[in-house]
Amino acid sequence: MSLQNQTISFLERKDYCSFIDGTYLDKSNNQTIALHNPSDGEIFAQFECANSDQVDQAVLSSARAFKSDPWAKISPAQREAILHKLADSLEKELQVLAELIALENGKLIAQAQSEIKGAIATFRYYAGWCTKLDGETLDISLKQKPGKQNFAFTRREPVGVVAAIVPWNFPISIASWKLAPALAAGCTVVLKPSEQTPLSSLYMAELFVRVGLPKGVLNVVIGDGQTGAALTQHSGINKITFTGSTEVGKIIGKAAMENLTDLSLELGGKSPAIVFADANIKEAANGIALGIYRNSGQVCVAGSRAYVEASIMDTFVASLKSEVDKMKISDAFDPDAGLGPLSSEAHLNKVDSYITKSQEEGASLIFGGKRLEKDGYYIQATALAINSNNNCAATDEIFGPVLVIIPFNSTEEAINLANDTRYGLSSTVWTNDINKAMECVDRLEAGWVFVNGPARSDPHFPIGGYKQSGIGKELGKVGIYTYTKIKSVNIIY
């Protein structure tokens, strides 16, 4: 493993604290958490959790930055220029950030590089929106005295201080989904990364200040759930945006209600993939393999339930197995690897237990299902066969490289099976029949529907779930609107 000099220099710090007001806090006697490299299980750094006083310090810093020069008075064109500079800085330091992500969560280095490229595109997309936030004029019927008229209009204003809580599976990409539109709208942000992946967020914040982002506009508090709770419960937060599990999202939702804080949630998924007999089976198998085994299945939109028309089941399984056989399982820095480690030992144990439990509930193992006897947190790409949705592999978000395959015999049955879940984040459909495709588009209960391709994000393509997969949308123009509030004005003259 050969690291960039900047990566080595950053890692020599070994002990890390929160980044507030443009600098790192001094160490105190707070709880510390060790960081393990998923590729070999070794501890390579540790950090100190922010306590409630330090969270308060971060929120107050962001509040000051929101209300005072230079951020409060900066023009939209100046914000646009700053966001382009932030994107340029990410591009310049792409390899360093990718290496930090690979060390923190075991993501294959090529996939980590792709993640940073996605973040760069997101910042550049929202840079263009800085100068395009507008209101509208309104013709209203409010009666005035003779000779008086109404001039009514709306304007969009930044919502204020944003608490952005991001998961470990895409620490920079998902942070960019929140940071870029929030900053473009004129907000300030307190970012709380996962306790598994704090270093990439710290490096990004340090980088942004170096290239000119005013101090306090972005603060990073690092820690566990207690740190996150102190942030979401803080009365100085004007909006909470969270990506993570449905269970934690519900807790955050309750905290938001206590202060009536604006809220966006992108939560869990158990996304279906429907494969009809008329589909290109090879393309479907390739796309489904990419959808479930990319990032070792640790993807919120992963297509983890494959509903395959019964007449092509054997052909599809053989084609899927052929795709999986091409995947070398190795460490994050192996350029030939197709499947890397899971993010932690605890998560490996969870995924492994689900594979066992599903078989106890009647699932048949098609391939994979074994942990690797080596240092690090590795498990084989796995596929399980069941005949209905009554199995934990079909109902629960395993968040690992585990695909469950279920047969169907009609379009009606496929759609009903796909919708039989509490989640509704994403879905894919594989067919060459446009009528079947559009029926699925109309009836699938999911925020995303991809036809003949795996689910992938784009800055201009909104994401957000139905049912218990979340509240609100990210990305696209709606992604910046969520960081604004509308003021209605009527001038009587």
Q: Tokens 């594989």 sit at which residue?
A: 430
Helix (H) or strand (E) run with residue 305 in it: strand 303-309
43-48 and 15-16 beta bridge pairing? parallel
- Phi and psi based region of residue 362 (left: phi greater than 0; alpha: psi -120 to 50; beta: remaining): left
Would you state the torsion angle of the CA atoms of residues 360, 363, 366, 371, taken in this order, to the nearest 10 degrees?
-30
For the beta sheet containing 43-48, the strands, ordered from the edge strand earlier in sequence to the opposite edge, are 15-16, 43-48, 32-36
**What does the pLDDT read at residue 2?**
87
Residue 300 appears among annotated catalytic residues: yes
pLDDT at 1: 77
pLDDT of residue 29: 85
Active-site entry in 17, 49, 187, 300: 300
The pLDDT value recorded for residue 449 is 98
Q: Does domain 271-458 have CATH number 3.40.309.10?
A: yes
Query: Which residues of the chain are under the pLDDT cut of 70?
Result: none
Residue 160, phi-psi category: left (phi > 0), alpha (psi -120 to 50), beta (remainder): left
Domain chopping of the chain, boundaries: 5-267+470-490, 271-458
The rounded distance, in Å, linking the Cα atoms of 188 and 206 is 16
DSSP structure string for 142-210 = ---STT--EEEEEEEEE--EEEEE--SSSTTHHHHHHHHHHHHHT-EEEEE--TTS-HHHHHHHHHHHH
Rg of the chain on CA atoms, in Å = 24
**Percent composition of the chain: helix, strand, coil (DSSP 3-state, to 5):** 40, 20, 40
As a whole number of angstroms, the distance between CA 221 and CA 244 comes to 17
How many whole angstroms separate alpha carbon 448 and alpha carbon 460?
13
User: What's the CATH class of domain 5-267+470-490?
Assistant: alpha beta
**Catalytic residue flag (residue 266):** yes
Distance CA 436, CA 303 (A): 19
Measured between alpha carbons, how far is 249 from 272 in angstroms, rounded to an integer? 22
Among 413, 161, 388, 380, residue whose Cα is nearest residue 292: 380
Cα separation, 324 vs 383, whole angstroms: 10
Provide the strand spans (E) within 310-442.
364-367, 382-385, 402-408, 423-424, 428-430
48, 104, 266, 445: the catalytic one is 266
